[in-house]
Chains A and B, each alone.
Chain A
C-alpha cells in the first residue's frame, strides 16, 4: 500500500447504500490502482451498478467515504466529471441523432471546441471504426456499432478513469472480444478502467476483480491469485448418470459445490483433502464414472466458492 493518491484512482471505505431499508451496497471497501482494468463481478442485483454510481457521484452514499482521482465524492463530483468517462448499461446516446451529431454534442458538452474537437472526433471515429458511419442514425445501428459509439463518446475528453457498466451485455461474442482489445489499448494509453460484468470470461481479463454478492465484497484480487487462493481443488468427472452423482455428492463432507458442464461434472473439493481425485474415486457414488481427474480452477469456481455461503 503506497498511500500515495497518485497511484490510487478509487478509494472507498465502508460504502453503504440503502434504498428504503434495503442495503443494495453493504459496507464496501475498495482500493483501485492506476493503470488497470478493475472488474466488479457478481450476479444481477448484487449492487455492482449501485456501487459504480456512487463512485461517479450519481448516487449519494448512505454511509462511507469515496475518493476518486483524489477528489471527494459526491462533494466534488462536478469537477470529477471532466476527468472520468461513463458508459451506461443501456445505450443512452440519442437514437434520433447521427453518429457525428452525437459525437459533436458530447464533445461540446465536455468543453472541447474548434480544432481540438474536430481532431478528437476524427481520432475516435477512426479508432472505433465509425468513420463510415458518421451520417447513420445512432438508433438504427447494430448493438456492436452502438457500443463502439458509446465507448467513443465516453473517451472523447480523454478521461483518466473510465467507468463501464456491463458494457458488453448487448453485443455478440465477436464484438465483445474486439471491445476488450480496445479496452487494453486504452489502458496502455494510461487510462484506468472500472467495469462491471456478470460474464466470467470478461472478469478473467481484468487485472483485478472484486466479487460482489448481496452488496458485499466476497473476495478481491487478481483472477489468478483468487484461483490459487480458492481454498478448493477442482475435479472433473466424466461418465453416465452425472445428475445422480451430483445429487449424491452435494450433501457429503468435503464437497463444496458440483455443477454439470455438458458431459462433465465439475466438483469443488475442500482444500484440506490432499488428493481430491482419489477422495472422489473412493466414494461409492462415483462408481460408474469413466474418468475422474483434477483440473485447473477457473474463475467460475472462484465465484462459486466465494459466494457459496450466501446461497446456503
Chain B
C-alpha cells in the first residue's frame, strides 16, 4: 500500500512547512542547544574554588599570617572578611557574607609546633593534650559540596612551615582516573546536556503537536478524513527526529570545539543511540499530547517530566548516590538510559552491545509509547 506512506509524507511536509514559518520556534531549535551549551559548559563546575571565608586571627603572629596565605594558596577558599571575635564570624556566616570562618587560636604557635602535619622532631603523640588541631574551621554545612571542599583541607600538610618539601609520603591506594584524568567537569556535562536538551525540546514539541491542532480547530477536519492515527503520529514526529539530530550535532560539535570534549570512535553507535532516545522522547511527548486538553496543559506536563529527567538521570547528581526507590523511578525515564549511553559512547568508547540493556529499554519505550499514543488518539469527538 502506497497510501499510508504518502499520507505520512504529506503530514511530514505539512509539519515542516509550519515549522519553517514559525521563526521563533525554529530559532529556539538552534539557540537552545547553543546558549545552554555555552552557559552550562562554562558555568557548571563541581570543582569548587574560591569559597569566600572569614578569618578570625586571635594569635596575630607571623605564623598565623603565613598559615592564612598557605590556606589561600590552595585556591579552595578566598579570605574576604576579617573579624576579631568568633561571634562576628558566625553572624557573617548566618548573613551569607561568607561560607566559612577560619579561626586561628592565640596558642597557635604551640599547636603548630606539636602538630604532626608540620613534622617537627619526634613522632608526635596522639594525646589531645599534647597534640591538637592547629586551627578551626566553622563551615556553613548546608551545601554539602562546599562543606566537603573545606573538609578536604582537614589534613592539609604543613611541612612547608618548616622549610621542608611538602609531604611526599606514599599514598595508601593508587587511583588511576580513566576517561577524564584531568577531572574536567565539562567532559561529563556536555554529553549529558545532549540528553537534557533533547528531553526538553522533543517532549515539548510533540506534546504540543496534537493539542495545537485540536486548539486551532484543525482536528475536527482531520478526523473526518481517512487518515489513520498511526500515520498521523509517525508523520508528526519525523520532522522532530531531524531537529533532534541537528541539536545533537550542535552540542557535541561545539562541545568539541569549546571544551575539547571527545567524540569517541563509536559514531554509528552514537547515532543509533541518539535516534533511539529521540524516538523514545517523541513517543512520550505524543502520549502527553493525547492526554492534554490545551497547549498550556501540555507544557505543564512537559515540565513535570523534564524536572525528574534532569535531576534523577545522573546528569547532575550521581545515579548511584540515590536511594534504591529513586533509582527505580529514574530507570523509567528515557533520559537516565540515554545519559548512560551517550557518556558511554563518547567518553568510554562503549558500544551498543555493551549497553544493550539501555538499548532494549529505549526500543521498548518507543514502541509502547507509539502504540499507546495511537490507541489513545481517537478519531472521535466523544
Contact = CB atoms under 8 A, between A and B. Distances in A.
Contacts of B21: 96
Interface string B217-261: 111111111111000000000000000000000000000000000
A108 B7 CA distance: 6
Nearest to A77: B379
A95 interface: yes
A111 B22 CA distance: 28
5 contacts: A92-B219, A94-B218, A96-B17, A96-B21, A101-B17
B380 A88 contact: no
A128 interface: no
B71 interface: no
A94 B22 CA distance: 13
A101 B221 contact: no
Contacts of B220: 58, 88, 92
A78 B227 CA distance: 9
B382 A109 contact: no
Interface in A91-120: 91-97, 101, 104-106, 108-111, 113
B3 A111 contact: yes
A91 B217 CA distance: 7
A interface SS class: loop
A260 interface: no
B374 to A, nearest CB: 14
Nearest to B2: A113
Interface in A58-100: 58-60, 74, 77-78, 81-82, 84, 86, 88, 90-97
A168 interface: no
Contact of B226 (A58, A59, A78, A93): A78
A265 to B, nearest CB: 42
B163 interface: no
B51 interface: no
Nearest to A102: B14
Contacts of B228: 78
A56 interface: yes
Counting chain B CB atoms within 10 Å of each CB, the highest count among A84, A90, A91, A96 belongs to A96
Contacts of B7: 108-109, 111
A108 B226 CA distance: 10
A96 B22 contact: yes
A58 B223 contact: yes
A53 interface: yes
Nearest to A84: B224
Contacts of B18: 94, 96-97
A82 B381 contact: no
Given A111-B3, A113-B6, A105 B14 contact: yes
A149 to B, nearest CB: 12
A92 B2 CA distance: 27
B311 interface: no
A101 B220 CA distance: 19
B233 to A, nearest CB: 14
Contacts of A111: 3, 6-7, 226
Residue among B18, B22, B382 with the most chain A CB within 10 A?
B382
Contacts of A58: 220, 223-224, 379-381
The listed residue with most B CB atoms (<10 A of its CB), out of A59, A93, A94, is A94
Contacts of A90: 217
B226 A82 contact: yes
B86 interface: no
Nearest to B21: A96
Contact of B382 (A59, A82, A86, A93): A59
Given A58-B220, A90-B217, A92-B221, A97 B17 contact: yes
Nearest to A60: B382
Contacts of A94: 14, 18, 218
A101 B16 CA distance: 12
B279 to A, nearest CB: 24
B147 interface: no
A268 B326 CA distance: 77
Interface string A249-279: 0000000000000000000000000000000
Given A58-B220, A90-B217, A96-B18, A109 B381 contact: no
B305 interface: no
Contacts of B11: 105, 109
B219 to A, nearest CB: 8
Given A60-B380, A96-B21, A97-B14, A110 B217 contact: no
Contact of A95 (B10, B216, B222): B216
A94 B2 CA distance: 25
Interface string B188-223: 000000000000000000000000000011111111
